[in-house]
Structure 1
Amino acid sequence: MNPQSTMDGGRRWLTTVGTNLPRTVVTIDDRVTADEAFRLAAAGTGLAWHGDFHAARNLLAAMSRRCGTAAGKPFRVQRDHRARRARILGRLLVPLDSGHVLPLRRGPDVREACTEVFGPSETASLVSLRELLGIVGAHEWRVKGVEIPALGAKIHPHHGVFSPVRGEYVDLVARTPLPAKELAFDIGTGTGVLAAVLAHRGVERVVATDNEPRALACARENFQRLGFTGIETRQSDVFPPGRAPLIVCNPPWLPARANTPLERAVYDPGSRMLKAFLDRLPRHLEPGGEAWLILSDLAELLGLRTRGELLTAFERSGLEVLGREDIRPRHPRADAREVTTLWRLTTRATPVPD
């Protein structure tokens, strides 16, 4: 997830989500009405704000209200609505001077947060206010950390790495009996929270993989903070070389398109990662070992995948279910009907032919 930049009027365009600088950019201040700002942004015009920072935040909130809502609509309609809303709100822009200094009245100090994401800067730039607020919020979480009861410690997520604020899946890994303690693979480690839980439970060696360098840097920092020296990180699409008696994977839960890099932790187009994990698992799981696949049934509740399709995928990959651990969500924004499951899988003695 590398920041993208282009030059515009002497200011560099900064983004981590792959959007382009609008072709037309006009300068606005607190004299613009929310209706006019929304009309321009909806038509594709970028709005470069010069004025009070808090007034810019208020304008962003007013524009958001004008986007309306898709509550109660089908999942795909809601996703399209959120994508359009993000495009419109992303066109309210703010300047950054050299060193990521925000030159707006009452503007916060964003230098450290922006340097973490974009690297050092000696040139002036433009950035979406909505994205800047996300960067600042992520920096605050990185500094504060997320309390993980299973560790008795905090995990510190980086910007662009999915934060373990919903801890049910962590609890599942913390309470399920370990089949072995000599080696485990953690596939798609993210912040490294599950690898850390395994090490905390006494697994002697953990290999944590991810295909995002930003995630691996985050995981390594967390392992160092926690003092876990027996965890190795590897950049890989799925598995590291070799076999292990325990393989843990918490893949993206929803088989749908990701609109931003961060959403790749939640959305898995066509269930690509899930299918790759299941198809390759028999070649990496030790005979008699267990794979712990952690999935919410939210995809089933939204009509994106059926339970039968999931069980068929297990069967097709030559896997059988040894058991399962279920947990209900605790997060107030989660669907109360949702159940998160840790599926305990193993390979069949006689694999099914292709």
Structure 2
Amino acid sequence: MSDLPRIHWTENGVEHSAAWRSEAGLPPPRRVVVADDTTSADTAYRLACEGTALLWRGDFQNARQLLNALARRTERKPKKASRPGHKARDKSQAASPTEAFHLHRLAQSQRARTLGMLLLPFEAGHQIPLRRAPDVGDACAQVYGPAGEPYVASLRELLGMIGAFEWRRKGVEIPALEDRIHPWYGVFSPVRGEYIDLVAAEPLPATTLAFDIGTGTGVLAAVLARRGVHRVVATDQDARALACARENIARLGYAAQVEVIEADLFPAGRAPLVVCNPPWVPARPSSPVERAVYDPDSTMLRGFLQGLAEHLEPGGEGWLLLSDLAEHLGLRQRDELMGWIEAAGLRVLGRSDIRPRHPRAADAADPLHAARSAEVTSLWRLGVR
């Protein structure tokens, strides 16, 4: 705890400080005021928008209600005055897909920053010293580890940890496994099952050995093992993902077939099958879990393609699982992807496609609906030229 940054505030004329917790790596707010049940939502919203954090001293359930009220205010569309004789421009309709994406990300970032300004005090052992506060010790310990001294964290982050705690406890049903995968906080949950269905259905080039690059929860390694691959080496760089994958693999009974190791993309050696499901949008993530979706400058995608040839056995196949959402958003072109494949000494052996089934693909109110409704997830079968 001593290595954590400190947050400072004044309360009843006395200077206070405590350790600051932020899984997203955000610095402690510079301005902090004490708030309680008498603080109105309008006042709280104004302060949060100005960059002033509110350290809550009232009822815990009232803090949750206040957070909901702040969220509703972030969703209000600002009224813009137009000059006489000029029709106001509807940016949501006039923006290009790329502009719409960047506006959407900006709005998400601003919303997260505003909602993250409602803070809670924690005592040692992750206890919240507020009326009607729940016992969040287990949920916090799974993410933060032990807490030997008081600290401050955002209510929004706490609610995310509570939700992740429930996901991990209940698990996510995976039809291809006829079982559940239990994701950890900060590890991408396989709630979008299209890419899993592709791996479950594609004919295997061999069953002796496979590499699963960037395994995350270990779901694809488990699917390959269930399909009869004798040995699977699953890699990741994130410590939490590695622990999550090992736990899932062991619980599913595939520990004898699947080895989970820490590696920067590829393990040593070659395999007749190398599978990778990299992040599909070339943009900067704003939280740990977003690293499974956003890949700045397509770094992991390009790294996989550039290293694939030297890790494939003769006649082997690399399976690249990739959504084309970035193409519909104008963030990456298909010619660019094909150029990377060719430059890596690879060729396309075949491709299987599937349409997304998640609710946002059919949500006409989503600002990225045009791109999402056209999205296709593909399994690219790649071989060495």
- For normalisation by structure 1, the TM-score amounts to 0.95
Question: In the TM superposition, what are the counterparts of 1:7-18 in structure 2 within 5 Å?
Answer: 7-8=6-7, 9-18=16-25
- For normalisation by structure 2, the TM-score amounts to 0.87
Give how far 1:106 is off.
2.1
Among 160, 172, 192, the alignment partner of 1:166 is 192
Structure 1 counterpart of 2:47, one-letter code: L
Secondary structure of 1:255's partner?
A: coil
Moved more, 128-137 or 75-84: 75-84
Structure 1 stretches of 4+ moved >4 Å: 69-73
| 2:118 paired with 1:92 | yes
Secondary structure of 2:133's partner?
A: coil
For 2:352 and 2:25, how far apart are their aligned partners in 1?
38
Equivalent residue number for residue 364 of structure 2: none
Equivalent residue number for residue 130 of structure 2: 104
Identity %: 60
Moved more, 26-35 or 69-78: 69-78
Secondary structure of 1:336's partner?
A: helix
Structure 1 counterpart of 2:379, one-letter code: L
Question: In the TM superposition, what are the counterparts of 1:44-193 in structure 2 within 5 Å?
Answer: 44-68=51-75, 74-193=100-219
Q: Deviations over 1:167-196 (max 9, x none)?
A: 111000000000000100000000000000
Among 31, 38, 46, the alignment partner of 2:45 is 38
Give how far 1:65 is off.
2.0
Secondary structure of 2:177's partner?
A: coil
Give the aligned length. 347
Conserved 8 A contact 1:188-1:211: yes
| 2:315 paired with 1:308 | no
Among 309, 326, 350, the alignment partner of 1:323 is 350
Gap regions ≥5 residues in structure 1: 349-354
For 2:39 and 2:133, how far apart are their aligned partners in 1?
19
Give how far 1:109 is off.
1.4
Among 262, 280, 286, the alignment partner of 1:259 is 286
Secondary structure of 2:309's partner?
A: helix
Give how far 1:101 is off.
1.1
Equivalent residue number for residue 352 of structure 1: none
Give how far 1:5 is off.
2.6
For 2:2 and 2:60, how far apart are their aligned partners in 1?
23
For 1:271 and 1:121, how far apart are their aligned partners in 2?
37
Equivalent residue number for residue 11 of structure 2: none
The Cα RMSD (Å) is 1.6
Conserved 8 A contact 2:352-2:378: yes
Secondary structure of 2:374's partner?
A: coil
Distance 1:18 1:3, change over 3 A: farther
Moved more, 299-308 or 60-69: 60-69
Q: Deviations over 1:247-304 (max 9, x none)?
A: 0000000011111121111001000111111011111011100000000111111111
Conserved 8 A contact 2:6-2:28: no
Secondary structure of 2:360's partner?
A: coil
**Structure possessing the higher radius of gyration over alpha carbons:** 2
Among 188, 198, 203, the alignment partner of 2:224 is 198
Gap regions ≥5 residues in structure 2: 8-15, 78-91, 362-371
Equivalent residue number for residue 337 of structure 1: 374
Give how far 1:69 is off.
6.2
Conserved 8 A contact 1:199-1:205: yes
Structure 2 counterpart of 1:44, one-letter code: G
For 1:234 and 1:26, how far apart are their aligned partners in 2?
46
Among 219, 223, 227, the alignment partner of 2:245 is 219
